[in-house]
Amino acid sequence: MQSVVRPESMARITTPELANAFIEDQVAKVRAQVGDKKVLLALSGGVDSSVVAALLIKAIGKQLVCVHVNHGLMRKGESEQVIEVFGKELDANLIYIDATDRYLELLKGVSDPETKRKIIGNEFIKIFDEEAKKLEGIEFLAQGTIYPDIIESKGVKAHHNVGGLPEDMKMDLVEPVALLFKDEVRVVSEALGLPHAMVYRQPFPGPGLGVRCLGAITRDRLEALREADAILREEFDKCGLAEKVWQYFIAIPDIKSVGVRNDVRYEGWPAIIRAVNTTDAMTATIEEIPYPVLHHITDRITHEVEGINRVLLDLTPKPIGTIEWE
Ligand code: XMP
| pLDDT tens digits for range 252-268 | 999 999 999 999 999 99
Q: From the CA of 278, give the closest atom in ligand 1.
A: 24
Over pLDDT 70: what percentage of the chain?
94
Burial of residue 300 (CB within 10 Å: 0-12, 13-18, 19+) is: middle
- The residue with greater pLDDT, 170 or 310, is 310
Give the integer Cα–Cα distance in Å for 19 and 289. Answer: 35
**Cβ atoms of 224 and 233 closer than 8 Å:** no
- Inform me whether the pLDDT recorded for 298 exceeds 90: yes
Separation of 323 CA from ligand 1 center, angstroms? Answer: 7
| Best mutation site among 160, 202, 204, 248 for ligand 1 pocket (most ligand atoms within 8 Å of CB) | 160
Q: Cβ < 6 Å from ligand 1: which residues?
A: 156-157, 160, 162, 203, 205-207, 247, 281, 318, 322-324
Backbone angles phi, psi at 256, to 5 degrees: -125, 150
pLDDT given for residue 246 in this prediction? 97
Per-residue pLDDT of 198-233, as tens digits, reads: 999 999 999 999 999 999 999 999 999 999 999 999
Separation of 53 CA from ligand 1 center, angstroms? Answer: 23
- Per DSSP, what are the bridge partners of residue 313? 273
- Inform me whether the pLDDT recorded for 181 exceeds 50: yes
Separation of 25 CA from ligand 1 center, angstroms? Answer: 33
The mean per-residue pLDDT over the stretch 165-191 comes to 91
* Domain ranges in the chain with CATH number 3.40.50.620: 16-199
Q: What kind of fold does domain 16-199 have according to CATH? A: Rossmann fold (3.40.50)
Tell whether the torsion through CA atoms of 45, 325, 312 and 200 is positive or negative. Answer: negative
**Cβ atoms of 156 and 281 closer than 8 Å:** yes
CA-nearest residue, atom 3 of ligand 1: 322
* Domain ranges in the chain with CATH number 3.30.300.10: 212-313
Q: From the CA of 325, give the closest atom in ligand 1.
A: 2
91: nearest Cα among 116, 122, 59, 54:
54
CA-nearest residue, atom 6 of ligand 1: 281
Q: From the CA of 322, give the closest atom in ligand 1.
A: 5
211: nearest Cα among 249, 184, 169:
249
Whether the full predicted model's pTM is greater than 0.85, yes or no, is: yes
Give the integer Cα–Cα distance in Å for 305 and 207. Answer: 23
Per-residue pLDDT of 7-65, as tens digits, reads: 889 999 999 999 999 999 999 999 999 999 999 999 999 999 999 999 999 999 999 99
Per-residue pLDDT of 234-256, as tens digits, reads: 999 999 999 999 999 999 999 99
| Best mutation site among 124, 145, 324 for ligand 1 pocket (most ligand atoms within 8 Å of CB) | 324
- Which residues, at least 6 apart from 204, have a Cβ–Cβ distance to it below 8 Å? 46, 75
Give the integer Cα–Cα distance in Å for 142 and 174. Answer: 4
CATH code linked to domain 212-313: 3.30.300.10
